[in-house]
Structure 1
Amino acid sequence: MAKVQVTSADKTKINTYTFFLVSRMDAGKKYYVVSELEHLTLEADSSKVSRDGQFVGKLVPESGYELPQNITIEYGSDVQKVSGNLYSSVTGEINLKASWHMLIRAKGVKASDFFVADHVKYQITSSENVAVVGTDVEDNATWTVTDCIIPATVSKDGKNYQVTELGEEAFIGCKKLKSITLPAGLTTIGERCFAGCVSTLTEMHCLNPVPAAFPQLFFHDTMEELNNSSPVYDCVLYVPAGSKAQYAQAEGWKNFGGILEDGEIIEPVVGETTDSTMTITCNAFEQATGYIVKVYEDAAKTRLKDEYQFDADGKLRSSSFSFTIKGLSAGQTYYIETMAVREGYYPTPIIISQNTIEAKTTGTATANEGVTADKPIVCVQDGEVVVRSSGEISVRIYDLSGQSIVAGKVTGYGSFQLTKGMYIVVAGDESYKVVIR
């Protein structure tokens, strides 16, 4: 058993908790826990102090203040920030193994420094910057947001702040979160930021061309959990054009299920078409371990006619692969879904990229038709934008600034040589985003 003595009644200044351990092995041994607090009270319950010197306490903020994200502990010359299992910024509970002398430093945060925008909670950290510290609900498991976009700047009381940090445990336990976008100005990511999200978060879009420092416990709750899991995160990482190589070499980031540059998509193209066959040509992905082609008879993709699975060996490792679908009906429209996949830690493969196009078989055995009668096909081949149509359509191509690059008409087939970059192609009434590399 152990005894706790509070030697300072004024808890706004310095509190000293002295442990007199009276077990046979540690008889008479004392442990000291000293606290330096601002706008907080440290409460300790003697019934929760174990005989081996475990300190259990709780920080309680004053009116108008909130708990800090982490606290500082000093063990002699050893100074460390404490959070996670040892300190909860939600409940204020502290559970530490006391040394012979331990100092707890903590400072309450003004409630006015916190605000919520689009279901995300922010904290003002300087005159110019804010940090994401959580969601707008008390229990992240109840957060209903599935696709979250963290903006580059947020506004409070008419003042704009730059988002530079994801705080520790900011999205911990967000079980419904499937996709998140991180802003270009993000420089810091806290430990356990996405703990408990590894099985549900399937897309992460990082707009920063330079990878931020990757915390060790990014997707995990404890070091034991990290050590017992696969280093391949079942989540696809999308990064700005030209930065894929940096992320692929950066510690932590390189372990994502797939790394794609924005705009890098699988692009199936229908080639030769007869009354009962279609030839599908598709670009290959370096990180893919396999490909899946599904043929549906309806746009809602509820009536699956055929499914084909390929591994990444042989010709699929080249710049593209081709496959002929047989046994189709004449004069019928089909919906072709093509997926590049990668085997991950979980039984279901990670879908790196997927795309669905529609194509129609011809009405006779001798005719060829490369596109549908309803919509044109737009793709990139050999550095050119290629447009195929069943009749004459207008074609306009814009750069990302909105400037018109091409304006003309295409009948059946047309190709346009452009410089490297991302473009918006308007073919008839359809719009497409393409990337030329």
Structure 2
Amino acid sequence: MDKLFGTDGIRGRAGEYPITPEMCIRIGRAIGRKFRQDGHNTRVVIAKDTRISGDMLEHAMASGVCYSGADAFLAGVLPTPALAFLIKDMAFDAGVMISASHNPFYDNGVKIFRGDGFKLSDEMELALEEFIGEEKESRVSNEAETIGRVNFVPNSCDRYVDFLAGQINAKKILEGLNVILDCANGATFEAAPAVFERLGADVRSIFTIPDGTNINDGCGSEHTERLVEKVVSRNADVGFAFDGDGDRVIAVDNKGGRISGDKLLVFCAKRLKDEGRLAGNMVVSTVMSNIGLSLALKEAGINHVTTKVGDRHVLREMLTRGACLGGEDSGHMIFLDHHTTGDGILAALKVSQIIKTSGKAVDEVAGLMKVFPQRLINVEVQVKRPIEDIPEIVAAIERVEGLLGEKGRVLVRYSGTQPICRIMVESPTKEETERFSDEIAEVIRKRLGT
């Protein structure tokens, strides 16, 4: 069996391997077996975003869980971080999120959480893949009475909204703040407006009518154009765009400027440091963060640690080093003092709280960090051969790195979920960035392209 897990769970086109009902039955069954606990019925909670394929895959997953002898609990449409909260809050043994995050509606995926609300480690993913790949049928028991049952989680969204409001811990703290929320026709369409309104914000929400096929379609964190228009036309203080499953957020300032995850990290880190609450005096991000983030943090006297791409790698490094703040430029932000995973709504609330209590305009965030010109090119590849084994590609990378010196950087890696090689180049000028990235991309196309 091919490797299933990528950068963030299992992902692909719904109805095609590995995102099929048959595979979800196998995955659900493996989860039930892997997380089986002696002394009580194993309980696995399942949530989904708004994709049309979610119902089909959710029920297949529940069937697999029950086939293992465990009980499945359906929580309905929820953001991924809401699932992580429910796992801990209701003492489930594991959780499954049916979502493909920011991908189009025709994709879907599976994210798996442990009983403590954290995502699986690399080692646990490998072990689970072995369970999934086993061809021999096995059951907890041959007795029909041991087959699990399907249950429903009542008021799951309300529980999550209560949790989020409790993390701010101040009634009507956002009163007078004019906010526009882009919910991407995804999993945040109920929870995000509800919690902002509860905390007193003047909220206008867009893209909150999911129909199964419009998730992330010209909206959300990957497409902020409409949000920019709304923020400017309504003279709002700030806008927030979530992705399809609500674990990332991108902000728009009061002048319509896009505020990336890197800038939000600097904004929050400086505030936490000023308050003496930045654990370890550090921020953790991935190698995809702009070089400007490192320079801005250095200027503020804050240490910067980088990891491989993927919010779970950021989280692991945070746990190892005792950090409380980390994230990715794509908008994943982890406030480890508050939650076990990246949470777009929580991050938006934290940013809003800082804006409201500091009295500063949001466009001042842009001045906290100089963004170096960065270009990312995706090249479709036939095979994912190790980059270091292809002399022509290595030579092209080394040539550009030699020309840039310490004034820029090059990062070439394969996507964890798609047949794509990603080329990222940063340099002092846009012209250099485009020229150098094109040079490397052309070599990769000739050697590996489809």
Tell me the TM-score normalized by structure 2: 0.28
- Higher strand content, 1 or 2: 1
Structure ranking higher on relative contact order (CA contacts 8 Å, 6+ apart): 2
Tell me the TM-score normalized by structure 1: 0.29
